[in-house]
Amino acid sequence: MLRIALFLGTNIAILVVLSISMSIFGLEGVLDERGVDLNLNSLLLISSIIGFSGSFISLAISKWLAIKTMGVVIITNPKNDTESWLLSTISSISGKAKIKTPEFGIFNSKQLNAFATGRSKNNSLVALSSGLINHMSRDEVEAVIAHEISHISNGDMVTMTLIQGIINTFVIFFSRVIGHLVDRIIFKVQRGHGPAYYITSIIAQIVLSILASIIVMWFSRKREFEADSSAAKFVGTSKMISALKTLSVKSSSSLPDQMAAFGISGKKENSYRRLFSSHPSIESRIESLLRKS
**112-135 pLDDT, tens digit each:** 999 999 999 999 999 999 999 999
37-38/103-107 β-pairing: unpaired
Q: Is 263 helix (H, G, I), strand (E, B) or coil?
A: strand
- Nearest-CA neighbor of 132 among 6, 250, 3? 250
* Residues belonging to the active site: 148
Domain boundaries, the chain: 1-293
Give, in order, the Cα–Cα distances in Å from 99 to each of 7, 93, 263.
22, 9, 19
Mean pLDDT of 281-290: 94
> DSSP string spanning 114-179?
EEEEEEETTEEEEEEEHHHHHHS-HHHHHHHHHHHHHHHHTTHHHHHHHHHHHHHHHHHHHHHHHH
Q: Percentage helix, strand, coil, to 5, in the chain?
A: 70, 10, 25
Higher pLDDT, 189 or 58: 58
Percentage of the chain beyond pLDDT 90 is 50
Taking 70 as the threshold, does the pLDDT of residue 16 lie above it?
no
Helix pair angle (282-292, 237-250), 10° resolution: 170
Please give the single-letter amino acid code of residue 148: E
- Nearest-CA neighbor of 175 among 36, 8, 38, 33? 38
Is the whole-model pTM more than 0.85?
A: no
The 10s digit of each residue's pLDDT in 244-274 is 999 988 754 455 443 454 566 655 555 556 7
pLDDT category at 1 given cuts 50, 70, 90 is: very low
Report the run of H or E that residue 73 belongs to, with start and end: strand 73-74
